[in-house]
Amino acid sequence: MEIARVLRADLLLKLSLAVVLGGIIGFEREIAGKPAGLRTNILICIGAALLMDVSTRIGLVDGHRVGDPARIAAQIVSGVGFLGAGTIMQAQGMVTGLTSAATIWVVAAIGMTVGAGYYIEGMGAGLLVTFVLGGLGRIEHWVRRARRTVSATIRTRPGTEEATVATTLHAHGIRIEGRQMFDHDRDRTFELKLSGPSRQFDIATAALLAREDVFGVHLD
């Protein structure tokens, strides 16, 4: 019993479970080619579990609690936000990395759950997150392939022909169903009704914004 207390067999179990759960989620992210992959998710889960264990034990003196066990846990929640923010990128009107950021956040939560000693809850959450990332990815892919109709406002350089805008849209599978054009002193604005596969709108938007004669694109 003394050896088990010194070597902290319970902590070893927590960290091992954190490796397994973080590894399962990280493995799925690695296969998907995401920046926060296997090692990243494992390290986040281990770190959160370790800090949560420290948080629950640091305020104990002779079996009596003299501090707030939530103080370190609260810092994990806010601190992991910096990692999540680092995976979110914004370029030319497109935002990427939100799923990776959310994964980092939930992996830290799983690590905290395991570190607090709630093994069943941690395992259940880990399996559920893996299902959401892996299983629901196919549904998300199907939804993005489904066709939808949106309204678009495209600001361009004065004198820009509609045909140049239409060519870029058509190259990405987007059709113009309705159109209006407004000329101003500093720009020409197209109010368009567009139809096409859901996943193509972000790609087409990025292609339009890459043009020097396009000032901005807004989809409703």
Q: What per-residue confidence (pLDDT) applies to 133?
A: 83
Nearest-angstrom CA–CA distance, 74 and 20:
24
pLDDT, residue 89, reads 67
| Structural domains of the chain ordered from first start | 2-144 (no CATH), 146-219 (3.30.70.60)
Give the pLDDT of residue 202: 82
Q: For each of the chain's 220 residues, which pLDDT tens digit applies?
A: 555 555 567 888 899 999 999 999 988 888 777 777 888 889 899 999 988 888 887 766 666 766 677 777 788 888 888 777 777 765 555 566 778 888 888 899 999 999 888 899 999 999 888 888 887 777 766 766 677 888 999 999 998 888 889 998 998 888 998 899 999 889 999 999 998 887 788 888 888 888 888 998 988 8
Per-position DSSP letters for 7-71, written without gaps between them: HTHHHHHHHHHHHHHHHHHHHHHHHTT-SS-HHHHHHHHHHHHHHHHHHHHTTEETTEE-S-THH
Please state the length of the chain.
220
C-alpha to C-alpha distance for 148 and 201, rounded to whole angstroms: 9
Write down the pLDDT at residue 143: 65
pLDDT of residue 60: 67
Q: How many CA atoms lie within 13 A of 30 on its CB side?
A: 12
| pLDDT for the residue numbered 46 | 92
**CA separation, residue 48 to residues 96, 99, 144 (Å):** 25, 19, 34
The model's pTM is 0.61
Beta bridge pairs of residue 216: 155
